[in-house]
Structure 1
Amino acid sequence: MPTFRFIDPTDVDADTLVVPTRAGAPLTGGLPADVVAMAAEHSGKAGTVEVLPRPTQRPAKVLLVGVGDAGPSGWRAAGAGLARSTARTASVTVSLPADADIRAFAEGVLLGSYRFRLAGPKAGGAPELTEVLLAGAPDEAALTAARVTAETTTLARDLTNMPSDQKTPEWFAERVTAAAAAHDGLTVSVRDPERLAAEGFGGILAVGGGSARGPRLVELAWTPEHATQHVVLVGKGITFDTGGISIKPRDAMKLMRKDMGGAAAIVAATVGAAALRLPVRVTALAPLAENLVNGSAFRPGDVIRHYGGRTSESNNSDAEGRLVLADALAYAVDQLAPDVIVDLATLTGANAVALGKRTAALYSDNDRLAKALADAATDAGEQVWRMPLTADYRDFLSSELADLSSIASEGGAGSVMAALYLAEFAGPLRDRWVHIDMSAPSWADSDSAELTKGATGWGVRTLLRWLATLA
């Protein structure tokens, strides 16, 4: 990742100068006349970059980078545009206006610089952007927040992008343990299959039963002194999903390494809370399993006994994520005494049908809590839309064999029905529980602003912004 350093704006001697530009807004600061003239023709569209070569002059090259309406999203897009335009330049200097959103701009640079490679960089390759000099008023707090946000989002992206031949539940647990070791105050507990069986986590065991690589439950805890609130974050962690006996078509299976994006986001956000030393107690629960097919795979029609004793009839083994989340939610309610529970899950294709590729579905009975998370998502540059927990639909989850069915008998509304199923396991804390179905925005098909093709790390930025407000 590039590093940032503030410099005196009156002492700029740059080979490559970056000038943020807004349509119709004149440039100030004593810039050369040719730069001012070119800026007047720039569209100002967020993230667009125009290059002005100036051979034999200083600066030798000027990049005009559009910031749109100069809101946070525009500054993030500008930072990402800069990162992609200067990927072969070791150092650049940015002429910052007084109203620059430094945090958003730095997040854009860092997130736009992201690339996932299992192999290292090619020997003898071109230089990479390593240093960004900021000519403007220093704001180290903004840079710290941007760096932690980008580093933890990168952690979530790396975990999600990792191919599933390597990404076993055990491997994921080891990565979380290693990440936690870098920060004082983080503790990790990992339940293996034997302990899961002894403690009654039937949903996790059922989903992981078809794989030779057994399931896990990771519990990551940040427990600062003087914390006044306890937040439990729960994330779906299916490290690969074939659909089980209700097997998926081949094309639907190709990207199922991303089916643990919720678990990646909640553990990364917890690491971020520790890195920022937020005075909020956070416990992350990541139920991890591979949903594969063999002689011990669970079947449609099986009745599963979850943590705490509630049973559900599983009528579709491709609706597996809610089964592992149910165990984790029931455990959180019974054992952890949280003030708030938030779960994130790549749960349904219905999310994408209803809201498209960029927006997650948010469910909660708590208006204040729903608004706080939606506001945090907006501030972070992520999008949510609140959906209804329609009480009349609860009857569609009835079962003749168990306490409830894992999928609806009729009525469609797949994302809503999944949320209603999970609400049963929030129990007495349902009024302090939020479910976010983030299946669609967890993956980007192409580079766009601060998103890069592949895993987006969706949810890390939202959770960190929200946790900071609780502090």
Structure 2
Amino acid sequence: MFAIRLTSGPADDSTRVLAVGADGLPTAADAADADLQAEVTALLSSADDPGRPGAVQVLPRPTRRPARVLLAGVGRGDEAGWRAAGAAIARAVRAEEPVQIQLGAEVPAEALRGLAEGLWLASYRFREAPTGPRSAEITIRVDDPGSLAQSLEVARVTAAATWLARDLANMPASVKSPAWFAAQIVAEAATRPGLTATVREPEQLAAEGFGGILAVGGGSASPPRLLEVSWQPAAASRHVVLVGKGITFDTGGISIKSRDGMKLMKKDMSGAAAVVAAILGAADLHLPVRITALTPLAENAISGSAYRPGDVITQYDGTTTETTNSDAEGRLVLADVLAYAVAELHPDVVVDLATLTGANAVALGKRTAALYSHDDELAAALTAAGAAAGEGMWRLPLPGDYLEYLHSDIADRHSSPARGAGSVVAALFLSEFLGDRLDRWAHLDMSAPSWAEADDGELTSGATGWGARTLLRWLSS
């Protein structure tokens, strides 16, 4: 990540950025440069909606200094508007170009955070790609740098967590085996005091009864793992368990996907990427809440040892599941881990993130995740955190009468009944493993927003890192 520096004092001659509010006027101007003020006013008067969040007007001044001025729209000046402006600025400046952004007096902390997050997030490029991120420093000029330093640090940690989640999801599946994923996070955790990470390999998974993880990962030459990362600060009074689906590639198994359905399945571990990024970020921010991140890691492959449609699987809690669709694998690995979390960790709250179904995108589109919870307060808190972070979600119901869809004649429940309401029924299946924590649990079905087809605001083409920002906001509250 490139450097963003806060400072005060007069501007220099590098490319200058001025923010433009919804009224079409700059939020800060250089009173000592009357010529620049006049040029800015003239340009804005002829521009179409220059204060729209994310709009950028370019004022070239080749014979004067600064030689180039960017005017970035921030709308009403809320955090979302500043985030959009930051993303637009990141795309409007050249990679090696030094830039200074002039902000007005008494700029709110949330404005600075939004601006910095937008700058960093829109500058992301997958690290194996030939085009790297910008290297020149961005200077943000404010009246009181010290008062905004913490906001900038929070933005940096949040962006770094999102970059990590994007890197993990963008990594080709030929590299990203369950063992590779676990090793990356163990190494990251080792650099942060207070974090511990353990990895269960197949023999231990079998000894402890993680039947869902073993079944789903049984067809692959890369055996499954269960990664557990723990953050236990001394001041913590609450224990949050975060669970993330970690299917490192999903062929659909014997119920094989189509070519189009399979081509993006390296991202099927985006939930796992988000929760491990969030716990690493929480450690960096020294958040006073105990957190355990659990990621069942498996590759759903096709071979003679792959589990079959019609198999009955014994989950961690001893219950049995009939599955007639090996492409409904995510709920099987999550069920094991949710049951383990409730039985062994006794959390106050459980939140799981999963690229679980494509069905939620039919109702909610590409930018919005589906939220399921029986806990109104938890649902409201997650929704508010997502709105502040720029990651939308919408609460969907958990109707009790749909539980009959999970009935099986040969097992305790059916994992993939062909009766519609795919996202809802998948959430209801997971709810069966929460025991006495059912009313302190939330499930986020985030398959659609985990991937962007093109650059869009602070998102870049490819993995979005969806969920890392929301979780850090929520944990911080």
Q: TM-score range by the shorter chain?
A: over 0.9
Take 2:193 and 2:94, find their aligned partners in 1: how far apart are those partners? 34
Quick one: which amino acid aligns to residue 86 of structure 2? G
* Alpha-carbon offset, residue 77 of structure 1: 1.0
Alignment of 1:53-452 (within 5 A): 53-98=60-105, 99=107, 101-118=111-128, 121=131, 128-136=134-142, 137-138=144-145, 139-410=148-419, 412-452=420-460
Take 1:340 and 1:309, find their aligned partners in 2: how far apart are those partners? 23
Take 1:353 and 1:175, find their aligned partners in 2: how far apart are those partners? 34
SS at match of 2:352: strand
Is the 8 Å Cα contact of residues 116 and 152 (structure 2) preserved in structure 1?
Answer: yes
2:3 alignment partner in structure 1: 3
1:15 alignment partner in structure 2: 14
Is the 8 Å Cα contact of residues 95 and 136 (structure 2) preserved in structure 1?
Answer: no
The alignment yields a C-alpha RMSD, in angstroms, of 1.3
Quick one: which amino acid aligns to residue 103 of structure 1? R
Quick one: which amino acid aligns to residue 18 of structure 2? V
Quick one: which amino acid aligns to residue 202 of structure 2? P
Task: Pick the aligned partner of 1:50 from 31, 53, 57.
Answer: 57
Is the 8 Å Cα contact of residues 402 and 425 (structure 2) preserved in structure 1?
Answer: yes
Deviation per CA, 1:192-237, whole angstroms, max 9, x where unpaired? 0111001100000000000011000000111111200000000000
Take 2:237 and 2:173, find their aligned partners in 1: how far apart are those partners? 39
User: Under a length normalisation based on structure 1, what TM-score does the superposition of the two structures give?
Assistant: 0.96
Take 2:353 and 2:66, find their aligned partners in 1: how far apart are those partners? 47
Take 1:403 and 1:409, find their aligned partners in 2: how far apart are those partners? 17
Quick one: which amino acid aligns to residue 476 of structure 2? A
* Alpha-carbon offset, residue 321 of structure 1: 0.2
Quick one: which amino acid aligns to residue 185 of structure 1? G
Quick one: which amino acid aligns to residue 26 of structure 1? L
User: Under a length normalisation based on structure 2, what TM-score does the superposition of the two structures give?
Assistant: 0.95
Take 2:13 and 2:435, find their aligned partners in 1: how far apart are those partners? 60
Matched, 1:38 2:38: no
Is the 8 Å Cα contact of residues 5 and 133 (structure 1) preserved in structure 2?
Answer: yes
Is the 8 Å Cα contact of residues 82 and 115 (structure 2) preserved in structure 1?
Answer: yes
Identity of aligned residues (%): 60
Q: How many residues align?
A: 463
* Alpha-carbon offset, residue 24 of structure 1: 2.2
* Alpha-carbon offset, residue 128 of structure 1: 3.0
Where in structure 1 are there 5+ consecutive unaligned residues?
Answer: none
Q: Call closer, same or farther: CA 1:201–1:3 in 2, change over 3 Å.
A: same
* Alpha-carbon offset, residue 448 of structure 1: 0.5
Take 1:71 and 1:147, find their aligned partners in 2: how far apart are those partners? 19
Is the 8 Å Cα contact of residues 23 and 40 (structure 1) preserved in structure 2?
Answer: no
Is the 8 Å Cα contact of residues 123 and 134 (structure 2) preserved in structure 1?
Answer: no
Is the 8 Å Cα contact of residues 217 and 223 (structure 2) preserved in structure 1?
Answer: yes
Take 1:57 and 1:7, find their aligned partners in 2: how far apart are those partners? 24
Where in structure 2 are there 5+ consecutive unaligned residues?
Answer: none
* Alpha-carbon offset, residue 14 of structure 1: 2.8
1:26 alignment partner in structure 2: 25
* Alpha-carbon offset, residue 56 of structure 1: 2.3
Is the 8 Å Cα contact of residues 310 and 324 (structure 2) preserved in structure 1?
Answer: yes
Take 2:397 and 2:333, find their aligned partners in 1: how far apart are those partners? 23
The list of structure 1 runs, each at least 4 consecutive aligned residues, that deviate by more than 3 angstroms after superposition, is 119-122
Is the 8 Å Cα contact of residues 235 and 266 (structure 1) preserved in structure 2?
Answer: yes
Matched, 1:458 2:466: yes
Is the 8 Å Cα contact of residues 91 and 129 (structure 1) preserved in structure 2?
Answer: no
* Alpha-carbon offset, residue 177 of structure 1: 0.8
SS at match of 2:433: helix
